Amino acid sequence: MIQACLFDMGNVLVKFSHAQMLQQMAVVCDCESELLREWLFESGRLLDYERGVISDDELHLQIEGLFGKSIDQQKLRWAASDIFSVNEQIIPLLDELRKKEMPLVLLSNTSRIHFEHIRDQFSILDYFDSFVLSYEVGMIKPEPEIFELAARKAKVSPENCFFTDDILENIIAAREAGLQAEQFHNATQLSRFLKQRLSFG
């Protein structure tokens, strides 16, 4: 039985582009986007940032150190964050779940600046009762503990939690942690899957 639904954020609730992020940050830093990609992604720095190991200010200081110059922090944050658009196709499903009074939990690997940007620019996060955010809890998917924490947040046993994510590795990990889980491909597929199990629509 599904008694709570857990949603990933990126490429489920909102669409985004890391390539766009790197290009916009490169303009502010006056560098090639490939340099930033290597520095952020290949080094593991971005994962440490999303885990909360590196703070916003620490990351900014490291970027200034990389380039040996002062970089406007607000401009850089906006360049890194202005990359999202709401997945409008998922709104009807969220509306249906709210009508059923289904507890909704956001479970996301994200940073403070991305979460706050989405919260401030869009209303889609208003659907959710609680949030499990990697930078706050010090864990990232696919670590099993983060799924266990999300189930506790939902106040439902793991086997009665449903989770969706666009990344298959996270779906496999969620299932291994005892949750019901289905990879997200599009809103139509997810709606069909849930409607078969929740008797609505």
For the segment 56-106, what is each residue's pLDDT rounded down to a tens digit? 999 999 999 999 999 999 999 999 999 999 999 999 999 999 999 999 999
The CA distance from 193 to 186, in Å, is: 11
What angle (nearest 5°) sits at the alpha carbon of residue 144, between those of residues 141 and 148?
105
**Cα separation values, 108 from 60, 63, 150, 159, Å:** 22, 24, 10, 19
**Residues 23 and 100 reside in one and the same domain:** no
The CA distance from 196 to 194, in Å, is: 5
Model confidence at 150, pLDDT cuts 50, 70, 90, reads very high
The CA distance from 64 to 37, in Å, is: 16
Amino acid 34 reads: E
**Residues 68 and 54 reside in one and the same domain:** yes
Does the reported pTM lie above 0.75? yes
Domain that holds residue 29: 18-81
Amino acid 126 reads: D
Note the pLDDT of residue 197.
86
The three-class DSSP label of residue 92 is helix
**Residues 159 and 71 reside in one and the same domain:** no
pLDDT digits (tens, 9 = 90+) for 107-140: 999 999 999 999 999 999 999 999 999 999 999 9
**Residues 98 and 174 reside in one and the same domain:** yes
**Residues 110 and 48 reside in one and the same domain:** no
Note the pLDDT of residue 201.
52
Tell me how many domains the chain contains: 2
The CA distance from 181 to 178, in Å, is: 9
**Residues 101 and 147 reside in one and the same domain:** yes
Note the pLDDT of residue 23.
98
